[in-house]
Structure 1
C-alpha cells in the first residue's frame, strides 16, 4: 500500500502549484507536503489525500447533495478492498505526541509500525470498553484480524495537525516504520483546511467498518463498502471545525456494505447498534461531546464515531438490513450554531 500511495504523493509533488500545496524537504531529508498549514490547499488536494489514505484502492468522486435547506458538496467512496483500505490504512489510530507536537496519524505507514501503542486515552479505557462489549485491537492485532501485512522501503503517512512536523516526529515515524528518514513522506492536513474537510468526509466507509469491528464483526467478512458524506464547511476555529467535520458524518453520512454472514440475527443486532442515532448522546453536537472529553480526541467514546445510516446486503441470503436516518435538522443545527 505504501508503494501505491507513493505514486499519488509524487503526483501531488508534480502538481503542487495547481493543488495549492507546498513541498518541503525536512532537515532529516523526509518529504513534507503542506496541504493547508501555511498554504490554502484545495478540494482537489483533499481528494489526493483521500486517495493516499486509501492506498489508491477506492473509487472517489465529488458531487453535491441537498439536506433539507442545505446544499453541500459531498464525497462518495467505494472499494472492493474494504477491510484493507480502511482498517489497514485509513484508520487514524496513530497518536503522535512528541516535543509538544500533536497530530492524528493515518495512511499506509501504519501497516509498517505494528509496535506502536494504542492512543493513551484508549489504552486507559480499554478494560471499560471491553466490559461494554467493544473489541479493542492494538495495531498488531488489527493486521492479524484483517489478514494483511507488508514490508516497504517507504512510509507514507497523513497527519491531521495544525502545524508542520519537526524532525523529531519524522525521525520517530521512520524508526517505527523501519525505513530511512529520507523515505518518509508526510502529508499534513489541518482540521481547519479545505483538504482537511474533504479527507475527513472521505473516511465515511472507514467510520462504518470501524464501528462494525468495534462491535465484534469480523472485517474480513465485508466484501464491498461504499458511502457518501457531506463535506463540512471550512471553519477557522479548530474546536468548531473538529465538531462539524464529525457531525456531517454523524447526521448525514450514509454507508452500504456487502457482507458474508451465516448468523442473520447476530448481523441485525450489530447493524442496529452502528448508526449515530443509537447513542444516548445523539442530540449533542460533536463539539459538545469534544468539550466533555476535555478536548481530547481519543478520550471520546469510540462508539460515537458512527455514520448516520448503514445498509447491509448479506450475500449468504440476499437479504438487506438497514438502520439509522439522515437528519437534516440536526445537521443544520450543528453547522450553523
Structure 2
C-alpha cells in the first residue's frame, strides 16, 4: 500500500479490466505477449474511437477522476469538448496522468522512445516528482499509456515490469497514436494536468490546490503527426479552460492565476505546429511555460475571491483546426 493509504494502480485495475473486456465494441486490439504482458492497441492496427479515448483518459487519471465528452464547451461554435473533473487533482494529474517517465530502447534509426503516463509511474517512481509528492505505490498490477504508433520492443517491456516491481503478466500497456481518435481524446483530457504541472513549475504549493476541473474542445485528428500534435496542443493552449480551488493567501492565488495561462509564454501567438517548425522540430527548445490552458480561474478558498486570467482564442483555433468557428 502507500503512505496515503491508497493505491492508484489498484483503483485503476477494474477500469483496465473493463476496457479489455469491452475491446470489441470499443474497436480495440488486445493481445498478450509470451511473457504475459497485455498490449492494448487503441489506434495502430485497430481503429479505436472516442469512447475508447475517454475511458483510457480515466485510466490515466489513476481512478481518481472522470472524463466526459460534452456538447458545446468553452469555445463558442465548436460542437464537442472534453471535460475533466477530479477531487484529488494533484495525485490524479501529477501522480498518474502526467507523461513524465522517459522510456527508450536501442540507438539510431531503429530506436524506440516514448513518455509513459498513467498509474504505473507511481510503482517505478523514476521521477523526482514522486519524492515531492511523498508517494510510492505498491501493487501487483500496473498500467501505462504510451502515445506511440508502434509496439515497444520486448526488452523494454521486461524492463518496465522490473522497474515497477511486478511480473510482466501484471503489466498492461495501452498504445494511443497521436493521430488516432482515442489518442486525440486522451491528449486533450490533459487540460487540467497541464495547469497542475505549470503550477508546480511556478513554485505554487501543490498541497494548497484542493479541487479542480477543466474543459477543452475536441479537435479533428490529422494523419500527419506534426499537425495532429499541433491540433491537440492548440485545443488546450487556445481553447482550454480550467477552474482551480486553492487555499492560501490571496496574493499567491492571484499570482498563480496571472501566470498560469498559455498567453503568459513568450511562444504564445501561433499554432503549435508553426512554433515547433520554427525551432527545427526540437521540442525542448519550446518555452515550457507555453503548455497550459488558455483561460484560468482560481478561487481562493480562504477569502472566497476568484481571480481570472487569459482568454479563449478562436482565431488561433481556426488556423490550427482548419475549420471556421
TM-score normalised to the size of structure 2?
Answer: 0.92
Partner of 1:281: 267
How many residue pairs are counted as aligned between the two chains? 312
Is 2:301 the partner of 1:328? no
**Relative to structure 2, which stretch is displaced further, 245-254 or 61-70?**
61-70
Partner of 1:306: 292
Post-superposition Cα deviations, 1:201-222, rounded to whole Å, max 9, x if no partner, equal 1111111111111100111111
Partner of 1:36: 43
Partner of 1:290: 276
* Cα distance in 1 between the residues matched to 2:124 and 2:280: 28
Post-superposition Cα deviations, 1:68-121, rounded to whole Å, max 9, x if no partner, equal 77423211111110100001000011122213112221000111112x3xxxxx
TM-score normalised to the size of structure 1?
Answer: 0.88
Deviation at 1:148, TM superposition (A): 2.5
Sort the Cα spacing of 1:181 and 1:63 in 2 relative to 1 into closer, same or farther, 3 A.
Answer: same
Aligned-partner SS, 2:139: coil
Deviation at 1:291, TM superposition (A): 2.2
Aligned-partner SS, 2:55: helix
* Cα distance in 2 between the residues matched to 1:188 and 1:59: 20
Question: Aligned match of 1:244 in 213, 222, 231?
Answer: 231
Sort the Cα spacing of 1:299 and 1:49 in 2 relative to 1 into closer, same or farther, 3 A.
Answer: farther
Partner of 1:152: 139
Is the contact made by 1:67 and 1:328 (CA closer than 8 Å) also made in structure 2? no
Question: Aligned match of 1:269 in 246, 255, 258?
Answer: 255
Is the contact made by 2:55 and 2:67 (CA closer than 8 Å) also made in structure 1? no
Is the contact made by 2:59 and 2:118 (CA closer than 8 Å) also made in structure 1? yes
Partner of 1:7: 14
Is 2:173 the partner of 1:163? no
Partner of 2:222: 235
* Cα distance in 2 between the residues matched to 1:297 and 1:53: 23
Deviation at 1:268, TM superposition (A): 1.6
Structure 1: any 5+ residue segments left out of the alignment?
A: 117-138
* Cα distance in 2 between the residues matched to 1:321 and 1:67: 18
Post-superposition Cα deviations, 1:144-177, rounded to whole Å, max 9, x if no partner, equal 3233222111211000011122212211211211
Question: Aligned match of 1:106 in 117, 132, 136?
Answer: 117
Partner of 1:258: 245
* Cα distance in 2 between the residues matched to 1:104 and 1:297: 13
Is the contact made by 1:5 and 1:108 (CA closer than 8 Å) also made in structure 2? yes
Aligned-pair Cα RMSD in Å: 1.6
Sort the Cα spacing of 1:220 and 1:185 in 2 relative to 1 into closer, same or farther, 3 A.
Answer: same
Partner of 1:88: 95
Aligned-partner SS, 1:108: coil
